[in-house]
Amino acid sequence: MEYEPVIGLEVHAQLLTRSKIFCGCSTSFGEEPNTQTCPVCTGQPGSLPVVNRKAVEFAIRLGLATNCRIAPFSLFARKNYFYPDLPKGYQISMYEYPLAEEGFIEITVDGRKKRIQIIRIHMEEDAGKLKHGETPEKASYSYVDFNRTGVPLVEIVSGPDIRSPQEAGEYLRRLRAILQYLEICTGDMEKGTFRCDANVSVRAKGQSEFGTRTELKNMNSFRHVEKALEYEIKRQIALLEDGEKVVQETRLWDVEQGITISMRGKEEAHDYRYFPDPDLVPLKIDGGWIEEIRKSLPELPEKKKERFVSQYQIPEYDAEILTSTRAMANYFEESVSLFQDPKTVSNWIMGDLLRELKRDEREIGQCPVTPKHLTGMLSMIQDGTISGKIAKDVFEEMYRTGERPENIVRDKGWVQIQDETEILRAIEKAIEANPRQVDDYRKGKEKIFGFFVGEVMKQTRGKANPKLVNELLKKKLK
Ligand SMILES: [Zn+2]
């Protein structure tokens, strides 16, 4: 029997406001524990929360950017449970009346477009952080840091529309890009500002009802999400094929072992006893404010991608990568404004530049090669100052030192050899040293031509103008 997975994702994204969602405490990261707290976010009796307007605005931005309907009326609710990092004994979230509903995100997988529904987006506060015995002296103690308590989050719940780990990865990448384009979330999974839980079940292909699902947690990179889903889908299919049943439960992804492990079953599931928070008034969002926010939205990834294809005549594949972050799209456009050959610019960004960044695990914002330096180098290839081959070395040097290409070429003596006599000298040497190959070539083995080009380049240490080398070699080898 053929099986099909059904996947839904729940993403928590931390909003980039300066202050917390219900008090004026700072949200800045990495401060001394418990230095950014007040009676409200530590849940002192008698303290009252007041909603942060900026956080609401950011959540509306996301709702609009994901094609959602913004609810004219939404309500904060208390989600009751006990945990040491939750001082009030409940988390303020939204339940029956979320802020935004019924949107979608478009993804492209294997060249095919697909819409993934967004069921709802709601706002909530983050909990604190527990630290367990971080040093040997503190081995038997646990500490709680309330700096993170009350940091604003949005939860984005997708429909059960995702059919493969690859689609899940694409959906997450696209959602993260939208958050970053909107400048409302850093999208850093390792730092926990973008977290994902997955619901997954399998069913016989063609069957309309869903199978029993499990919930996966503890995946802190896109790669882990994809791997955890792959593992879980295989595990569930194996159970069904053995005539067993999938148990509804929460499972943790174990990075070391590369497997999912049962954490708690359905019978242990919480009843959160949600009810409207009596300390907060309902959010009544004015239509005029929504329109104002809509007008302020930036060009989003999908639109930018389409524009890149039509305006710069680059392949869709290039446009997809170049628009994957707003910073990269800006880098590309700034470069093209300085050097009007978009495809060449795209090739260098997608090739050498991204390779170096990936190796060093850097973002494009941390790239030592500026658009000005990159295009300066491209102009030097174009006017024949350096060869395309040498350009590779120039690029590496620019990346390593952050130096201007003109200075590198001058200091290293990498200017291309345009002088015919010098090139001819190298050609004659190559011919003298390889009489057998000359013979073969003249007998019609034309492939050997490339060998001679290589020899001449070797002698000139890659600096000879390749066009001249080709012309002169052809004459000499006749
Ligand atoms: Zn506070």
Structure confidence at residue 109 as a pLDDT band (50, 70, 90):
confident
Q: Measured in angstroms, how far is the CA atom of residue 64 from the centroid of ligand 1?
A: 29
Q: Measured in angstroms, how far is the CA atom of residue 32 from the centroid of ligand 1?
A: 15
pLDDT of residue 266: 64
Q: Measured in angstroms, how far is the CA atom of residue 156 from the centroid of ligand 1?
A: 25
Q: Measured in angstroms, how far is the CA atom of residue 84 from the centroid of ligand 1?
A: 17
Q: Is the pLDDT of residue 231 over 90?
A: yes
Overall average pLDDT of the 393-409 stretch: 91
Rounded-to-integer distance, Cα 455 and Cα 451, Å: 6
Overall average pLDDT of the 185-196 stretch: 88
Q: What is the pLDDT of residues 237-284, one digit of tens each?
A: 999 988 888 888 889 898 888 888 888 766 666 788 999 999 999 999
Q: Measured in angstroms, how far is the CA atom of residue 29 from the centroid of ligand 1?
A: 14
Average pLDDT for the chain:
90
Q: Measured in angstroms, how far is the CA atom of residue 149 from the centroid of ligand 1?
A: 8
Q: Measured in angstroms, how far is the CA atom of residue 320 from the centroid of ligand 1?
A: 41
Q: Measured in angstroms, how far is the CA atom of residue 261 from the centroid of ligand 1?
A: 36
Q: Measured in angstroms, how far is the CA atom of residue 43 from the centroid of ligand 1?
A: 9
Within 13 Å of residue 266, how many CA atoms lie on the same side as its CB?
A: 6
Rounded-to-integer distance, Cα 385 and Cα 383, Å: 6
Q: Measured in angstroms, how far is the CA atom of residue 459 from the centroid of ligand 1?
A: 70
pLDDT of residue 255: 86
DSSP secondary structure, 221-247, as one string:
SHHHHHHHHHHHHHHHHHHHHTT--PP
Distance between first and last Cα of the chain:
67
pLDDT of residue 123: 97
Q: Measured in angstroms, how far is the CA atom of residue 51 from the centroid of ligand 1?
A: 12
Q: Measured in angstroms, how far is the CA atom of residue 40 from the centroid of ligand 1?
A: 5
pLDDT of residue 268: 61
Q: Measured in angstroms, how far is the CA atom of residue 65 from the centroid of ligand 1?
A: 30
- Strand-pair category, 152-158 with 249-254: unpaired
Q: Measured in angstroms, how far is the CA atom of residue 280 from the centroid of ligand 1?
A: 16
Q: Measured in angstroms, how far is the CA atom of residue 278 from the centroid of ligand 1?
A: 19
pLDDT of residue 361: 82
Q: Measured in angstroms, how far is the CA atom of residue 28 from the centroid of ligand 1?
A: 12
pLDDT of residue 191: 82
Q: Are 212 and 246 in contact (CB under 8 A)?
A: yes
pLDDT of residue 269: 61
Overall average pLDDT of the 336-359 stretch: 92
What does the block give as tokens for 335?
A: 């470069």
Rounded-to-integer distance, Cα 79 and Cα 90, Å: 5
Q: 348 burial class (0-12, 13-18, 19+ CB within 10 angstroms)?
A: buried
Q: What is the pLDDT of residues 436-461, one digit of tens each?
A: 888 888 888 888 888 999 988 888 87
Q: Measured in angstroms, how far is the CA atom of residue 72 from the centroid of ligand 1?
A: 28
Q: Is the pLDDT of residue 28 over 80?
A: yes
What length does the chain have?
A: 478
Rounded-to-integer distance, Cα 65 and Cα 304, Å: 13
Q: Measured in angstroms, how far is the CA atom of residue 41 from the centroid of ligand 1?
A: 4
Q: Measured in angstroms, how far is the CA atom of residue 231 from the centroid of ligand 1?
A: 41
Q: Measured in angstroms, how far is the CA atom of residue 37 from the centroid of ligand 1?
A: 4
CA angle (117 as vertex; 115, 121 as ends), nearest 5: 140
Q: Measuring CA to CA, which residue among 345, 290, 221 is closest to residue 62? A: 290
Q: Are 92 and 124 in contact (CB under 8 A)?
A: yes
Structure confidence at residue 331 as a pLDDT band (50, 70, 90):
very high
Structure confidence at residue 188 as a pLDDT band (50, 70, 90):
confident
Q: 165 burial class (0-12, 13-18, 19+ CB within 10 angstroms)?
A: buried
Ion ligand 1 neighbours (CB, 5 A) are 23, 25, 38, 40-41
pTM higher than 0.85 for the full model? no
Q: Measuring CA to CA, which residue among 160, 189, 184, 161 is closest to residue 173? A: 189
Q: Measuring CA to CA, which residue among 257, 166, 263, 172 is closest to residue 217? A: 263
Q: Measured in angstroms, how far is the CA atom of residue 130 from the centroid of ligand 1?
A: 18
